[in-house]
């Protein structure tokens, strides 16, 4: 596999003990159209950051998972981004099972916008980490690592709808809102980063696969 488009990331289980990972320079790569063909066979993890949010309404500290008014909300733009992402995955016929969401309202809203007719699971340990203490982060980071690195059977891909800080804790990568990040899980806390799809990439990728949307400019 071309090293320009993939990097083997060995993430050690001592994260569970709260030991920081050694620093390295992460280099995100835009996903190539050929990668979409690989996803059709299943066995991958799709880490989706929620859509665009209203930064003028920050999360309250402490936040209440039962009260969306205490959380930074998804915007109409973010809802549209997630609809576009979900429609693209459907047109590409990518198999997704399971779909797992963070319990925050912006991720739940993103999940429902992207996958309106598909059931999904809610995982509390995918919650937003930025406002947590180091001790509170540990189980969230460990669970995120487990969901990214645990082998996924062929025939389906595991989709996670969560937050950028959680991923940054693992690989020092803060993807933009509405992004999809592709991993190959290798087991035992190891995984391979394969590429990223940003919201404005979908028209290009769909066109490359002969699925151009006539409504796109």
Peptide bond into 62 cis (omega under 30): yes
What is the CATH class of 26-208?
Answer: alpha beta
- Which residues are paired to 101 by β-bridges? 122, 161
Residue 43 burial (C-beta neighbours within 10 Å; 0-12, 13-18, 19+): middle
Residue whose entry in the numeric block shows the structure tokens 């996958």 = 115
Q: CA-CA distances (angstroms) from residue 98 to 43, 64, 77, 104, 171?
A: 11, 26, 26, 18, 23
Provide the pLDDT confidence category of residue 212 given band limits of 50, 70 and 90: confident
More confident residue, 2 or 193: 193
- All structural domains of the chain with their residue ranges: 26-208
Residue whose entry in the numeric block shows the structure tokens 């159209």 = 33
What percent of the chain is predicted at pLDDT more than 90? 84
Q: What is the pLDDT of residues 87-118, one digit of tens each?
A: 999 999 999 999 999 999 999 999 999 999 99
Question: How does DSSP assign 34-63, residue by residue?
Answer: HHHHHHTTB--EEEEE---B-TTSPPPSS-
Report the predicted TM-score, pTM, of the whole model to 2 decimal places.
0.87
Q: What is the mean pLDDT of the chain?
A: 90
Report the distance separating Cα 56 and Cα 107, nearest Å. Answer: 18
Q: For the beta carbon of residue 4, count every other beta carbon within 10 angstroms.
A: 9
Report the distance separating Cα 66 and Cα 122, nearest Å. Answer: 13
pLDDT greater than 50 at residue 168? yes
pLDDT greater than 70 at residue 214? no
């Amino acid at each position: 596999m071309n090293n320009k488009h993939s990097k083997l990331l060995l993430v050690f289980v001592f994260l569970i003990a709260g030991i920081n990972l050694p620093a390295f320079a992460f280099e995100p790569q835009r996903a190539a159209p050929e990668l979409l063909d690989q996803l059709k066979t299943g066995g991958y993890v799709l880490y989706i950051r929620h859509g665009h949010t209203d930064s003028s309404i920050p999360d309250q500290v402490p936040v209440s998972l039962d009260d969306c008014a205490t959380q930074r909300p998804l915007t109409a733009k973010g809802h549209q981004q997630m609809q576009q992402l979900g429609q693209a995955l459907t047109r590409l016929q990518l198999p997704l099972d399971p779909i797992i969401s963070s319990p925050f309202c912006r991720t739940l809203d993103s999940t429902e916008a992207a996958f309106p007719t598909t059931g999904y699971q809610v995982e509390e340990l995918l919650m937003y980490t930025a406002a947590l203490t180091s001790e509170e982060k540990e189980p969230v980071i460990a669970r995120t690592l487990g969901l990214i690195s645990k082998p996924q059977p062929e025939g389906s891909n595991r989709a996670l709808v969560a937050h950028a800080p959680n991923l940054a804790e693992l690989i020092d990568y803060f993807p933009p809102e509405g992004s999809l990040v592709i991993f190959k899980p290798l087991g035992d806390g190891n995984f391979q980063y394969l590429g990223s799809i940003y919201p404005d990439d979908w028209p290009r990728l769909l066109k490359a696969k002969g699925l151009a949307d006539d409504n796109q400019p």
